Structure 1
């Protein structure tokens, strides 16, 4: 496992079979799939409040009975609960499945799954986008930025007068 600043593992971690990244409100999981997996019908995604499971189909063509076997590509119990009804995923044939999860509560996760090595929360970027703040907090921040701008203009005027 490596923790780095790439988009797939920003504030998260990069593993052999998957990577994850997070903001204070959500998590993005990239699960690598077999390069031969091109059809959406050959994929099952299960997301619950506490778990994720990604399965791929391996068709048994030798027997000719049309039966399919399913193998688990990724499975894990989540470290914390998510809003499972708010989860969405995207399939990129032969490459990966991108699963977007909304956290149940605002918090930074030390790991995506309970059995994963924890990352150090001291080393993540805890800054928040202004759009993540509630309207009152956004107004307060904009007011502080305006005051700072005005203060800098006054300083500049004083310097040019001298």
Structure 2
């Protein structure tokens, strides 16, 4: 991978060729894994092909806070190792569909993209991830509040109006002025 400075020095054509080659290499590495995986900000889904007719008792699946092991009993695990990040064990599950073991891992911190599932496995470039559209109603209360505040501030800035933080500062200054009418605030600056 090139440094940001080397990338900035490239022509547009060189950059496009470099990105295409990096994307091709990444796709080949991911295709070579014995499992397929995808993610959202809050979870990771892993799919492992297994022989049709396999039953749950024929599998070994161990989901721990920082590790994962899965495969057929008595054989080398298909996936085993230290997870890139911690997960919520109680909210992580696995299911068996005809010919496929599906593992759902709930991220401990649902605010970041993983570059791989297992440490040491081929990585993806998380800066190229395009998140799917989601609705505000899909978010938990704290995250939703934060996103709504960011959206409000973005609209205010675009319209040349004060952000929510600017409005809070102005409100605090006004309260302080009322509490201290003896003071001169004519030279007061917000910032």
* TM-score, normalised with respect to structure 2: 0.55
Distance in structure 2 (CA, Å) of the matches to 1:132 and 1:42: 37
Matched pairs, number: 126
Does the CA-based 8 Å contact 1:50-1:81 persist in structure 2?
yes
Kept in 1: contact 2:70–2:78 (CA 8 A): yes
What displacement does 1:139 show? 5.0
Q: Report the Cα offset of residue 127 of structure 1.
A: 5.3
Match of 2:82 among 77, 81, 89: 77
1:30 corresponding residue in structure 2: 47
Q: How far apart, CA to CA, are the structure 2 residues paired with 1:92 and 1:15? A: 22
Q: Which residue of structure 1 lines up, in the alignment, with residue 59 of structure 2?
A: 43
What are the Cα deviations for residues 28-83 of structure 1, in whole angstroms up to 9, with x where unaligned? 11112234x522211121001111111313xxxxxxxxxxx344222122111111
C-alpha offsets along residues 72-123 of structure 1, whole Å, 9 cap, x if unaligned?
2221221111111211111013x21111111111211111111111111121
Q: Which structure has the highest helix share of the two?
A: 2
Name the counterpart of 1:147. Answer: none
Residues 51 and 78, structure 1, Cα contact 8 Å, conserved in 2: yes
SS of the equivalent of 1:72 reads coil
Larger RCO (alpha carbons 8 Å, 6+ apart):
1
**CA distance in structure 2 between the aligned counterparts of 1:118 and 1:17, rounded to whole angstroms:** 14
Paired position in structure 2 for 1:19: 36
Residue 145 (structure 2) aligns with:
136
1:103 maps onto 2:107 in alignment: yes
Cα distance in 2 between the residues matched to 1:84 and 1:27: 12
Moved more, 135-144 or 123-132: 135-144
Question: Distance between the aligned counterparts of 2:27 and 2:49, measured in 1?
Answer: 17
| Runs of 5+ unmatched residues, structure 1 | 5-12, 58-68, 145-162
Partner of 1:160: none
TM-score (norm: length of structure 1): 0.63
Q: Please state how far the C-alpha of 1:26 moved relative to its aligned partner.
A: 0.9
> How far off its partner does 1:25 sit?
1.1
In proportion to residue count, which structure has more strand?
1
